[in-house]
């Protein structure tokens, strides 16, 4: 069976602005704990709904893989596993392209049956944490939080 290429995201009705939203949200989500692939799947689904975009399962996976490709290749997140004996994050010893291929294959195999902890875990890098802090600060500034103490 032929796997969709990573370029398939270009045929989908999702622009770079929506990809950037998903990346920002994932990095903020990942700023205080490791993320599971189900977190990525949820973000894709939430953003598709928010922008009134209907995606079939294979398209949701394609979008999710594109998001992961962007964060991994940009050095913002790294994939890995949780060591059962120590409960520590263990990054994969793979190239970025090998890691993306492994995630793509595992996610497509699971399809709609993706479960918590399946395929991989994701950890923000130091740069990913800085990016999340900038996003958080921008949102707080836009919302006027914390409120000033005007008297």
Helix (H, G, I), strand (E, B) or coil at 102: helix
Strand order in the sheet with 35-36: 35-36, 121-124, 77-82, 89-91
In this structure, is residue 6 part of a structural domain?
A: no
Let me know if residue 74 belongs to a domain. yes
- Whether residue 17 lies inside any domain: the answer is yes
The gap from C-alpha 58 to its chain's centroid, in whole angstroms, comes to 16
Which CATH number characterizes residue 37's domain?
1.10.3510
Whether 76 is in a domain gets the answer yes
What is the span of the domain harbouring residue 54?
A: 13-143
- Give per-residue pLDDT as tens, 33-74: 999 999 999 999 999 998 888 888 889 999 999 999 999 999
How many domains, in total, are found in the chain? 1
pLDDT in tens, 105-147: 999 999 889 889 889 999 999 999 999 999 988 888 877 776 5
151 within domain boundaries:
no
In a domain, 2, yes or no: no
pLDDT at 1: 39
Q: Bigger pLDDT: 101 or 56?
A: 101
Per-residue model confidence (pLDDT) at position 137: 87
User: Is residue 150 assigned to a domain?
Assistant: no
Query: Does 148 reside within a domain?
Result: no
């Amino acid at each position: 069976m032929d796997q969709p290429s990573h370029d398939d995201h270009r045929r989908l009705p999702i622009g770079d602005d929506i990809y950037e939203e998903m990346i920002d949200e994932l990095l903020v989500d990942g700023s205080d704990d490791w993320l599971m692939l189900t977190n990525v799947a949820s973000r894709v689904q939430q953003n598709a709904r928010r922008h009134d975009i209907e995606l079939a399962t294979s398209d949701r996976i394609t979008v999710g893989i594109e998001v992961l490709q962007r964060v991994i290749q940009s050095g913002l997140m790294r994939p890995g596993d949780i060591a059962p004996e120590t409960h520590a994050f263990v990054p994969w010893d793979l190239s970025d392209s090998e890691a993306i291929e492994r995630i793509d294959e595992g996610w497509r195999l699971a399809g709609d049956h993706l479960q918590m902890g399946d395929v991989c875990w994701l950890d923000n890098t130091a740069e990913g944490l800085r990016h999340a802090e900038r996003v958080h600060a921008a949102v707080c500034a836009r919302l006027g939080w914390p409120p000033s103490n005007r008297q």
